[in-house]
Amino acid sequence: MNQLFDLTALELARAIARGDVAQSDVIQGSADCIAVSDKLNCFTAISVSDPIAATPDSSLSGVPMAVKDNLCLAGTATTCASRMLRDFIPPYTAAAVEKLLCAGAVCMGKTNLDEFAIGSTSETSFFGPVKNPWNLEYSAGGSSGGSAAAVAAGLVWYALGSDTGGSIRHPAACCGVTGMKPTYGTVSRYGLVSYASSFDQIGPIARDAADCAAVLDIIRGHDRRDSTSLPGPYPSLSAQLTGDLRSVRIGIPDVYFDEAVDEPTRCAILSCADALRRRGATVELCRASGLEHAVHAYYVLACAQASSNLARYDGVRYGCRAEAAHDVQDLFVRSRSLGFGREVQRRILLGTYLLSDENYDTYYKKAVAVRHQVEGAFRALWHSYDLLLTPVFPGPPPKLGQKTNDPVALYQEDRYVACANLAGLPALSMPCGMRQEGLPIGVQLLGPRMSDGAVLNAAFAFQQETDFHRRHPPMFGLGGDAE
């Protein structure tokens, strides 16, 4: 394995800047790995962007990265892993991607995902499931499974994902890498294909917290093209990585540390708490009420927003168009039935049901009320704690095919992560242990809105104490050749 692959994105950028390594060699090394990584199925398209000369102070200039295939890149297919958009070539580039390219990032391609980012195992992709680099029989998690697998396998140094109900944090935990969903509104959603607009947020998946902070420092900021974009200010996140946790109070909410959490996950999280204590934090179990129904509210609101957002795909302006339609309505029905996969159709139909006249008060209005209750519950917790520590999911990652026909089981596992989306909070997942079967264990840190720096600093401190983020699967830096 080329030793370059052991470097983090920041370390690699510094090596390129010093002239220790040629940027062209780095790009070629990454391209060579990607070329033999077919068995992971983590790319929907491989296309190396032309490197742009970045400003001298750009911290990630020249570093190869990848972009989840629900983020638009002008001139490159943006499929959302759906038959519906298989041939869609956007005429514009997502704001977050544009910022990275202007900062000298080299995009190696688009990564695989659950169709329209709807799912948590990356198995609903039109292009087939993403495999976990640690064990090809397991899911890479989802929906940003391709981004997480590509980083974990050392194909790229970081990748962009999107997180609507855990879709960055879940695959990051499955694949043993670090992923962050920033505060809602801090990264422009312009150019992100919408799933559930009040939850969707773009964020990085990288090798450690420092790389995540560096990516976020580039992509954060106000954008007039996204009406939910926050005006700022946006202080440097990287500058907040001191590793000092003295006077930081961290709670482990009992509602997320229950009997559903298996023993290896429980032990790993308690060890993580000990590491954070060694850095000066106080960590304790805490009572949390008002969060019990967060995942139920999340599913009502996400399905409702999905049914509305995905109404735009009708076979007229872009996307899949069915043949032999005898009128316009028939064209809509045939094109949508042909273009959307089963899980997407299920969510659209559920959302349509939940928004119908007779069910609106029973489900939708209640879910909105629960969302406010969840925001209130978090506000109460922030009186006593600066950050919270929770599992990302309660056991091993799912085996491929294990839960595809059991939506209830899949949806229930999102309860540890979806709460952050309901309240718009920054939340990060990082590796904190290994299971006996050789799969990574993840832990989640979350904090109040706009406390992204504090969340990242706690992760940074943990990663100063431990080396889980430096552990790699056998195929790391070799594409699929080691398997």
Q: Between 184 and 195, whose beta carbon lies closer to another protein?
A: 184
Active site residue: 167, 188, 229, 335, which one? 167
Binding mask 159-188 for another protein (x = CB under 8 A): -------------------------xx---
Backbone angles phi, psi at 139, to 5 degrees: -70, 150
The rounded distance, in Å, linking the Cα atoms of 308 and 301 is: 11
Element spanning 204, H or E? strand 201-206
Which region among 54-62, 307-315, 440-448, 470-478 touches another protein (by CB under 8 A)? 307-315
- Whose structure tokens read 């029905």? 333
Q: Active site includes 131? A: no
Active site residue 167: yes
Residue 23 and residue 53: Cα distance in Å, rounded? 11
Q: How many CB atoms lie within 10 A of CB 325?
A: 15
Q: Is residue 198 near another protein by the rule CB under 8 A? A: yes
The 3-state DSSP class for residue 428 equals strand
Cβ proximity to another protein, 132 vs 305, nearer residue: 305
* 195 token code pair: 């799933």
Our CB check for another protein shows the closer of 424 and 442 to be 424
Per CB under 8 A, 151 contacts another protein: no
Does 307 qualify as catalytic in the annotation? no
Query: Which is nearest to 147 in space by CA: 77, 202, 214, 75?
Result: 202
**Residue 49 is a binding residue for another protein (CB under 8 A):** no
Q: Which is nearer to another protein, 301 or 478 (CB)?
A: 301
DSSP string, 339-384: HS-HHHHHHHHHHHHHHSTTTIIIIIIHHHHHHHHHHHHHHHHHHH
Q: What is the DSSP string of 31-66?
A: HHHHHT-GGG--EEEE-PPPP----TT-TTTT-EEE
Q: Does 350 bind another protein (CB under 8 A)?
A: yes
Question: Could you say whether residue 233 binds another protein (CB under 8 A)?
Answer: no
Among residues 14 and 366, whose Cβ is nearest to another protein? 366
Residues 389-408 that bind another protein (CB under 8 A): 405, 407-408
Question: Minimum distance from CB of 291 to another protein (Å)?
Answer: 12
In whole angstroms, what is the distance from residue 391 CA to residue 435 CA? Answer: 14
By annotation, the residues acting in catalysis are 68, 143, 167
Chain residues that interact with another protein, rule: CB under 8 A: 87-92, 184-185, 198, 224, 227-229, 231, 293, 296-297, 299-300, 307, 311, 314-319, 321, 325-334, 336-337, 340, 342, 345-346, 348-350, 352-353, 356, 362-363, 365-367, 369-370, 372-373, 375, 405, 407-408, 411-412, 423-424, 449
